[in-house]
A = this chain, B = another copy of it.
């Protein structure tokens, strides 16, 4: 057994944290040096920097640039054990979580298992229109994007070729905007000279948004700026476009079928199914309706944070958005509550409510373009991109990752090249001989 065993003295209060995302990491960090035993569960062995995941999907970055092993983040914090495992259910009354066939008791429980995209009650669309949540999702999307051009190069039928060169991104939130912009740039700037037969600059990229503007979480000015910049890149933005079907041939919007061999899903939010095992009230997206202090009603020892929680801000009454900064702040807040409770040997009678400090929201629109909203001020274009990149690099975990991301961006900026244009996972080989051969 390791000599580095932080669990010599048993009987210390047990804190179980589910999820090594932005929120979960902050909870654990906030309990550094506090006399308790922490068990941190995650399905993956790495913390994922979600905001840059689309750059892995679009071959700009490698998985190792946006992910960091959770173990090494906490190698020096001896009161935490990191466990690679999936928590299946919670028993609030008996105070344990179910993992595999086993039960793990807790004194405090923090759930930060996150959310995934929802297919509006059409799970069968998932296979045809992959979403972007994990590294594996990103590699699968990268694979599909790159294969589409390979197959188009060999496709002689003009209609079929056009369909292969048509990408449809469903959902006009940040992820959708960023994916659409990046794909259009790959087609128009990165790869045209690599192909002999097909003109990749003719690639169509459609961005479908059900509401009447992009980036609904931001202000109208930001929405307009995003639309304008995407259109300058050559992305076709369709607002008020409700997807009623996803088929082999393409996407159905209302009655119209848009022939498209590549459909990517960036719409809808569905909280982790773990929430439904609590037996408490959930909102339409399956998020837990938590108390103002992020605790589960009737259970001051259990907290839900990040985009698994539904919480209205006490100040402006608006729902706290499901973004990384909110998860970070909730994590720190809950760690504070647990610290206090451990210090006074029991939950405090009065608890202050969580308040989200919105430091700004932003989204990139292709190379060196972005929109940002900071304290009511709206930025667009290069200044917004500078702000965006600074903030994102600053929040990356690990100096090595920061350096690597900066170098990759510099490279891309200088040479319009993308360093990670690799198809992994054996590609299907629908080969045809070039006609002119």
**Footprint of B on A, CB under 8 Å?**
1-7, 10, 14, 37, 39, 43-46, 62-65, 67, 69, 71-72, 75-76, 78, 81-86, 99-100, 102-105, 135-136, 139, 146-147, 150, 153-154, 191-199, 400-401, 403-404, 407, 411, 417, 419-427, 429-434, 436-437
Complex Cα gap A81–B198 (Å): 12
Asked if B139 contacts A84 (CB within 8 A), the reply is: no
Residue of B nearest to A81 (CB): B196
Asked if A45 contacts B421 (CB within 8 A), the reply is: yes
Contacts of A139 in B (CB 8 A): 424
Asked if B430 contacts A100 (CB within 8 A), the reply is: yes
Asked if B1 contacts A427 (CB within 8 A), the reply is: no
Asked if A81 contacts B197 (CB within 8 A), the reply is: yes
Query: Beyond the given A72-B191, A401-B419, could you list 9 further A-B residue pairs with CB under 8 A, ordered by the A residue number?
Result: A4-B193, A4-B196, A43-B429, A45-B422, A71-B191, A72-B417, A83-B154, A100-B429, A404-B419
CB distance from A90 to the nearest CB of B (A): 15
Residue among B3, B99, B150, B197 making CB contact with A84, cutoff 8 Å = B150
Complex Cα gap A4–B87 (Å): 54
CB distance from A394 to the nearest CB of B (A): 19
Asked if B433 contacts A103 (CB within 8 A), the reply is: yes
Residue among B5, B64, B150, B432 making CB contact with A62, cutoff 8 Å = B64
Contacts of A403 in B (CB 8 A): 407
Asked if A196 contacts B422 (CB within 8 A), the reply is: no
Asked if B146 contacts A45 (CB within 8 A), the reply is: yes
Residue of B nearest to A37 (CB): B437
Asked if B429 contacts A86 (CB within 8 A), the reply is: yes
Residue among B62, B86, B103 making CB contact with A63, cutoff 8 Å = B62
Q: List 14 A-B pairs, Cβ < 8 Å.
A: A1-B199, A2-B195, A2-B198, A4-B195, A37-B437, A75-B194, A76-B193, A82-B194, A83-B153, A85-B429, A86-B431, A102-B432, A105-B437, A404-B404
Q: Knowing A139-B424, A424-B136, A431-B85 touch, does A1 contact B71 (C-beta < 8 A)?
A: no
Complex Cα gap A83–B404 (Å): 31
Residue among B63, B194, B400, B422 making CB contact with A422, cutoff 8 Å = B63
Asked if B39 contacts A197 (CB within 8 A), the reply is: no
CB distance from A205 to the nearest CB of B (A): 19
Complex Cα gap A196–B11 (Å): 18
Complex Cα gap A62–B437 (Å): 37
Contacts of A10 in B (CB 8 A): 436
Asked if A425 contacts B136 (CB within 8 A), the reply is: yes
Asked if A400 contacts B417 (CB within 8 A), the reply is: yes
Residue of B nearest to A106 (CB): B437
